[in-house]
Amino acid sequence: MDRIQTNFVTLIFIGAVVLFSLCMAPLTSYAKEKGVQNSTPSDASAKEDLGEISRQLENPLTSLWSLTFEDSVLLKEGDAINGTELANTLFFQPGLPIPVGEKKDKVFIARPVFPLVTNPVLDPTATDDVDGHETGFGDIQFLTLLGPNRTSGIVWGAGATFKFPTATDDVLGEGKYQAGPAAMFFRLAKPWTVGFLYQHWWSYAGDDDRSDTNQTDLKYIIRYSLPDAWSIGMGPTVTVDWEADSENRWTVPVGLGVTKMVRFGKMPVKFIVEVQYSVIRPEDYGTQWKFLFRFAPVIPSPFR
């Protein structure tokens, strides 16, 4: 069964790489069709466009196509371990929204997250020790949202969210099929962009030897736009494990980071560097610090 599960995750990863290649392939032909090689926009216009693109990418229901790569270094601590332990999560998240409706005034997105995880292995024979680290694929998340097609002002959406037990080791995932509601609400404006993305999961199937899940994620974003397509702010995720006792239920981080939108040739790319600190975290074992780096190329959409 482990071999089947590993092969399944590997196929998904290969599919993601193929998807990346297919999406990148049309860049040259797209540029030729639109004649962008011969266009020479002014520096001011280019910078203004990049700032607007950066704001739109904060919206989970943006009509822009993008490929997000994010690496997070986590410092974990608690009563269950001795000292501080390192963990790491690298994920690939393609965002390929589709306009729907007769007037294409709505947007639908089905957004997967493919994680590669390194976690410490807690030693079951000791209450304050770690037995090395394990690296492999984690549980895949799948978010679906539907909402109005807007580039500014109030933006909202609703849908469903899922988790699949694709982790290659118990310490890298939860071993459960999970599903629940999702919703988002944003205000996209200058200079402030604020909003949240809510997701909740209940387990409904999976490994009977693993604990049931009942979890909430609330990602909140606060960004302040600066000149030249820069911004400052934060985008942490509050997590709540409703199955845990009160001392280990909440993780509430705050952070500070910088965002910069640049062009490589004609391709806009967004970079984010952010540091987060959990002002509330589980007493037994949880994340204290998170160091995040993200880059997201914007690729041509056939629907724009």
**CATH code at 90?**
2.40.160.40
Residue 32 lies in a domain: yes
Residue 275 lies in a domain: yes
Q: Residue 62 has what pLDDT? A: 94
Q: Residue 45 has what pLDDT? A: 40
Q: Residue 82 has what pLDDT? A: 85
Residue 74 lies in a domain: yes
User: 11: helix, coil or strand?
Assistant: helix
For the chain, the first-to-last Cα distance in angstroms comes to 44
Residue 103 lies in a domain: yes
Q: Residue 127 has what pLDDT? A: 58
Q: Residue 80 has what pLDDT? A: 85
> Domain residues for 182?
2-299
> Residue 96 in contact with residue 109, Cβ under 8 Å?
yes
Q: Render each residue's pLDDT in the chain as its tens digit; 304 residues.
A: 443 444 444 445 445 544 544 444 444 344 344 443 433 444 444 554 899 999 999 999 999 999 999 999 999 999 888 889 999 999 999 999 999 988 889 999 999 999 999 999 886 655 567 778 999 999 999 999 999 999 899 999 999 999 999 999 999 999 999 999 999 999 999 999 999 999 999 999 999 999 999 999 999 999 999 999 999 999 999 999 999 999 999 999 999 999 999 999 989 999 999 999 999 999 999 999 999 999 999 999 888 6
Residue 179 lies in a domain: yes
> Three-class SS string for 18-87?
HHHHHHHCCHHHHHHHHCHHHCCCCHHHHHHHHHHHHHHHCCCCCCCEEEEEEEEEEEEECCCCCCCEEE
Per the rule left: phi > 0, alpha: psi between -120 and 50, beta: everything else, 153 is: left
Q: Residue 103 has what pLDDT? A: 84
Predicted TM-score of the model (pTM): 0.84
Q: Residue 35 has what pLDDT? A: 41
Q: State how many domains the chain has.
A: 1
Residue 291 lies in a domain: yes
Going 9 to 294 to 215 to 110, the CA torsion angle's sign is negative
CA distances from 169 to 15, 69, 140, 144, 187 (A): 21, 22, 13, 26, 40
Q: Residue 184 has what pLDDT? A: 98
Residue 304 lies in a domain: no
